[in-house]
Amino acid sequence: MEQHRRYWEDTYLFDVDTQVVAVREEPAPGIAVRDGIVHPKGGGQPDDIATVEMRPVSVSKDAETVWLHPEGALPAIGDVVHVAIDPEVRRRHAALHSAGHLLDACVAPLGFVNVGLSHTPGQAFLLYDVNGGTLPDGEEAKTALIETLLARAHELVGADLPYGAEIDADGVRRVTIEGLQSDPCGGTHVRTTGDLTGIEITRVRTKKGQLKLSYTAEHA
């Protein structure tokens, strides 16, 4: 089956006319299309909200294939269908995911290593183990940490650094903030740090030797 992950190439490709390359009935009726613009849930990023021929679809993924599950009768292999995603949802997801990378680049030099994350709207967080750093003790220390991280994040937003992606020699997709950070990632991202606005750290928690930062961000 040939399916092209267009969401890896262009965050802002919101609709496409594309050919159905596979149809299945189990475990749930669905189709796979050649031009995959719909991002499936993974890596802390939620599913896109999508339609096929203006019909709502749910999204699933197995191995390397993204499946779309429309309501009603399924099109046939070879049919050309119109697939669309909600632009504002995609932009929000891309902003939160990109801000997560940006904040991580601010936190890591302070002596922490990321061990968990979510880029889900209203629930976005970054979780860290101590790696030579010091956990903030008390509200004043937490406030000081927030101020330090946000000052650096806003500086990097102002620098308008490009986000880029490539497949490495091991076949792993890596997302890079130019001159700053490179990480394995399958998500969608903004074009540059300058596309981000409203970056805030909404809560700092320490528990069992770990640091958890809840955050929010929007697309400019």
Pair of tokens at residue 60: 């699933």
Using DSSP bridges, classify how beta strands 35-36 and 125-130 pair: parallel, antiparallel or unpaired. unpaired
Pair of tokens at residue 178: 């130019």
Q: Which residues contact 8 (CB under 8 A, 6 or more apart)?
A: 165, 173, 186, 188
Cα dihedral across residues 52, 75, 77, 27: positive or negative = positive
Of the chain, the percentage scoring pLDDT greater than 70 comes to: 100
Summary mean pLDDT of the chain: 96
- pTM value is 0.95
Query: Among 71, 25, 78, which residue's Cα sits nearest to residue 52?
Result: 71
The C-alpha atoms of residue 163 and residue 194 are separated, in whole angstroms, by 10
Residue 1, pLDDT score: 67
Window from 65-74, 88-97, 149-158 with minimum mean pLDDT: 65-74
Assign 215 to helix, strand or coil. Answer: strand
Q: What is the pLDDT of residues 110-159, one digit of tens each?
A: 999 999 999 999 999 999 999 999 999 999 999 999 999 999 999 999 99
Confidence category of residue 64, pLDDT binned at 50, 70, 90: confident
Residue 63, pLDDT score: 81
Give yes or no for residue 193 having a pLDDT over 90.
Answer: yes
Residue 135, pLDDT score: 97
Residue 91, pLDDT score: 98
Q: Averaged over 181-206, what is the pLDDT?
A: 97
Domains of the chain (ranges plus CATH)? 4-85 (2.40.30.130), 90-219 (3.30.980.10)
If one counts every other C-beta atom within 10 angstroms of the C-beta of residue 184, the result is 11
Residue 178, pLDDT score: 97
Locate all alpha helices (DSSP H) within 53-188, ordered by sequence: 87-107, 139-159
Q: What is the pLDDT of residues 24-57, one digit of tens each?
A: 998 999 999 999 999 999 999 999 999 999 999 9
The C-alpha atoms of residue 102 and residue 111 are separated, in whole angstroms, by 16
The C-alpha atoms of residue 176 and residue 12 are separated, in whole angstroms, by 18
Query: Among 141, 135, 94, which residue's Cα sits nearest to residue 112?
Result: 135
Give yes or no for residue 189 having a pLDDT over 80.
Answer: yes
Confidence category of residue 2, pLDDT binned at 50, 70, 90: confident
